């Protein structure tokens, strides 16, 4: 016995979604044997856009029964039946949550007429209920009302159950291990089955192929399945929009994190929230003016071709330059801590030897600048981090040179690497940002033994 169901709701996600109308048709595989349809008082306001879609407003449901008043009828109608709906996970999870709110655990086997249709009658451009019914000449009246949509789903289901090969497909879909009822309605099972149990990143794409979400995982297949089991509103919307999944292997969690960060900033997927910010980092650099005086300046990191070191914000940058001025007796004016002045008069730095007042030669001053920059560069990290590769015969590496994250790469274990030049042949160059800094710093704190000085490089 099948319970073919449709609901109308207030449209506030899964957990905040309240039912405004429900229709249930009990179907024995050949004909309808029972029916129940009722408006439901959601005990909250119905948004205007929902009323515009369904025609159901607050006045219509004011005297309708509340969920707890029809709960026994719904339990009775669906007892020992298979729960069927178009995009079944939405209807099922909203109803399950309504029962949970009144202290009842609701569990039924499920079938999705979207997934069944894709399997049994492939080739349509759209599998929405309205367009599918139109393509199959199935009458659909009272669209976006529970009874009209549920009755059309009954007629569609009747067509599906009599389609050639239906018995085997139904058996597979009802197998608890098949995960057919768990997968998003628009996602081919083959896309999920091809996912590896390995580390890497994955891309959720919409029906047009656009990337809508990027994630990373130590076990891609397991993590993707976690999205489908998650019943939050965001995950529900993501899964409903997903029609394709791609992936890239990384070999390790560290490389997966770095790949994910780069891909998010490149594609800017609508369902990703973190790592989409465009942080304004700063970098210091040197140049000589027309009087041959070496300046230490700072600017937005995007404007600096060869940064000496970078900072998360302008405050950190200026504080660093103040310390550098003090320790190496440099001029605040020529370190761009003071602008539009003839000579320096910094509130806290008084160690300037007079280059700004022509009391010191360019040669002597520039030498101190060179010594300061040399000291900064010597403190910069120059290391590689080694990790497992994507295949057993492969190693992965992450390069940090002059304190900057330069990218990652993969090398066959049989290759002999003895210098930075050897490494750069295999390097996939990436841009450093706040997120990659955080990822690498956290990793080195946890696994300091994984870093190798570039002077000792040998993979």
User: What pLDDT digit, counting tens, does each position of 71-113 carry?
Assistant: 999 999 999 999 999 989 889 989 999 999 999 999 999 999 9
Q: Is 40 exposed, middle or buried (0-12, 13-18, 19+ CB in 10 A)?
A: buried
First to last CA, the chain: 63
Q: Is the pLDDT of residue 450 over 70?
A: yes
Tens digits of per-residue pLDDT, 245-260? 999 999 999 999 999 9
Q: Per-residue confidence at 151, pLDDT binned at 50, 70, 90?
A: very high
Rg (the chain; Cα; Å): 32
Is it the case that residue 185 has pLDDT exceeding 90? Answer: no
Is the CATH code 3.30.70.260 the one for domain 2-174? no
361 pLDDT more than 70: yes
d(CA 221, CA 217): 8
Tokens 């700004």, located at residue:
356
**pLDDT classification of 310: cutoffs 50, 70, 90:** confident
Percentage, residues of the chain above pLDDT 90: 63
Q: Per DSSP, what are the bridge partners of residue 6?
A: 23
CB 136 within 8 A of CB 153: no
Q: Tokens in use for 67?
A: 């969920």
How large is the greatest C-alpha to C-alpha distance in the chain, in angstroms?
Answer: 103
Instruction: Give CA 70 to chain center in angstroms.
Output: 39
Per-residue pLDDT band at 197 (split at 50, 70, 90): very high
Given a cut of 80, whether residue 124 has pLDDT beyond it is yes
Find residue 32's DSSP bridge partners: 27
pLDDT, the chain, mean = 90
Distances in Å between the Cα of 144 and the Cα atoms of 53, 147, 350, 396, 403 are 7, 9, 76, 53, 59
In this predicted structure, what is the pLDDT of residue 418? 76
Q: What is the pLDDT of residue 348?
A: 72
Tell me 310's DSSP state.
E
386 - beta bridge partners? 397
**Mean pLDDT value across residues 372-384:** 85
User: Which tokens go with 232?
Assistant: 């939050």
Structure tokens at 350: 């008084």
What residue ranges do the domains of the chain occupy?
A: 2-174, 189-267, 282-379, 383-456
Residue 423 has a pLDDT of 83
What whole-number distance in Å separates Cα of residue 379 and Cα of residue 230? 46
pLDDT at 14 over 70: no
Q: Which of 210-214, 294-298, 414-418 has the lowest mean pLDDT?
A: 414-418
| Tokens standing for residue 443 | 């990793």
Mean pLDDT of 134-158: 93
Dig out the tokens for 401 from the structure.
């040179």
**Which two three-digit tokens encode residue 84?**
């069927």
The beta strand positions in 319-426, using DSSP E, are 383-388, 394-401, 404-412
Architecture per CATH, 189-267: 3-Layer(aba) Sandwich (3.40)
**274, pLDDT greater than 80:** no
Return the pLDDT at 243: 93
Given a cut of 70, whether residue 159 has pLDDT beyond it is yes
- Which of 17-26, 35-44, 354-363, 416-425 bottoms out in mean pLDDT, i.e. has the lowest? 416-425
Separation CA 352–CA 368 (nearest Å): 11
Q: Sheet of 109-112: strands edge to edge?
A: 32-39, 19-27, 2-9, 82-85, 109-112
Tell me what the mean pLDDT of segment 422-448 comes to: 89
Q: Exposed/middle/buried for 406, CB within 10 Å: 0-12, 13-18, 19+? A: buried
What's the pLDDT score for residue 15? 64
Can you say how many angstroms the Cα of residue 297 is from the centroid of all Cα atoms in its chain?
A: 37
At residue 329, the pLDDT reads 92
Q: Which conformational region is residue 218 in: left (phi greater than 0), alpha (psi within -120 to 50 degrees), or beta? A: alpha
Q: Are 22 and 146 in contact (CB under 8 A)?
A: yes
Q: 24: part of which helix (H) or strand (E)? A: strand 19-27
Distance from C-alpha of 169 to C-alpha of 185, rounded to nearest angstrom: 15
Helix residue spans in 282-396 (DSSP H): 314-328, 362-379
Residue 402 exposed, middle or buried by CB count within 10 Å (0-12, 13-18, 19+): middle
Q: What is the pLDDT of residues 313-344, one digit of tens each?
A: 889 899 999 999 999 999 999 999 988 777 88
- Sequence-distant (6+) residues with CB within 8 A of 25 are 3, 4, 5, 32, 34, 35, 150, 151, 154
Q: Are 282 and 311 in contact (CB under 8 A)?
A: yes
Quick one: pLDDT at residue 178?
67
**pLDDT at position 278:** 63
pTM (2 d.p.)? 0.68
Of the pLDDT bands very low, low, confident and very high (cuts 50, 70, 90), residue 13 is low
């Amino acid at each position: 016995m099948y319970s073919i169901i449709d609901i109308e709701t207030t449209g506030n996600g899964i957990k905040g979604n309240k039912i405004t109308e429900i229709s249930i048709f009990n179907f024995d595989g050949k004909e309808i044997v029972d029916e129940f349809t009722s408006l439901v008082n959601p005990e909250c306001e119905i948004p205007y856009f929902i009323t515009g879609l369904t025609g159901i407003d607050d006045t219509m449901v004011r005297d309708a029964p509340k969920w707890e008043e029809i709960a026994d009828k719904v339990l009775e109608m669906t007892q020992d039946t298979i729960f069927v709906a178009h995009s079944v996970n939405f209807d099922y999870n909203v109803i399950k949550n309504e029962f949970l709110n009144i202290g009842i655990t609701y569990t039924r086997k499920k079938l999705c007429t979207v997934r069944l249709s894709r399997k049994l009658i492939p080739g349509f451009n759209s599998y929405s209920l309205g367009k599918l019914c139109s393509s199959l000449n199935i009458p659909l009246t009272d669209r976006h009302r529970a009874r009209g949509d549920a009755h059309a789903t009954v007629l569609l289901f009747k067509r599906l159950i009599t389609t050639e090969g239906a018995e085997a497909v139904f058996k597979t879909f009802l197998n608890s291990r098949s995960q057919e009822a768990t997968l998003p309605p628009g996602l081919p099972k083959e896309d999920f089955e091809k996912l590896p149990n390995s580390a890497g990143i994955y891309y959720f794409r919409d029906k047009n192929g656009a990337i809508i979400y990027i994630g990373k995982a130590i076990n891609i297949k397991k993590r993707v399945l976690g999205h489908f089991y998650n019943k939050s509103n965001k995950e529900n919307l993501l899964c409903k929009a997903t029609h394709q999944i791609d992936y890239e292997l990384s070999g390790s969690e560290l490389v997966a994190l770095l790949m994910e960060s780069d891909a998010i900033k490149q594609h800017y997927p609508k369902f990703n929230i973190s790592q989409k910010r465009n942080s304004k980092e700063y970098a210091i650099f040197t140049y000589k003016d027309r009087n041959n005086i070496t300046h230490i300046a700072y600017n937005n990191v995007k404007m600096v071709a060869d940064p000496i070191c970078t900072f998360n914000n302008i405050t950190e940058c200026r504080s660093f330059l103040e310390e550098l001025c003090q320790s190496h007796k440099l001029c605040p004016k020529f370190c761009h801590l003071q602008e539009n002045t003839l000579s320096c008069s910094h509130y806290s730095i008084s160690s300037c030897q007079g280059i700004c007042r022509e009391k010191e030669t360019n040669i002597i001053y520039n030498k101190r600048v060179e010594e300061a920059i040399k000291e900064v560069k010597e403190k910069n990290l120059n290391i590689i981090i080694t990790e497992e590769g994507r295949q057993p015969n492969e190693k992965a590496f992450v390069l940090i040179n002059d304190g900057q994250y330069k990218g990652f790469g993969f090398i066959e274990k049989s290759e002999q690497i003895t210098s930075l030049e050897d490494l750069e042949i295999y390097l996939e160059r990436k841009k450093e940002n706040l997120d990659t800094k955080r990822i690498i710093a956290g990793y080195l704190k946890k696994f300091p033994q994984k870093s190798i000085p570039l002077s000792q490089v040998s993979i």
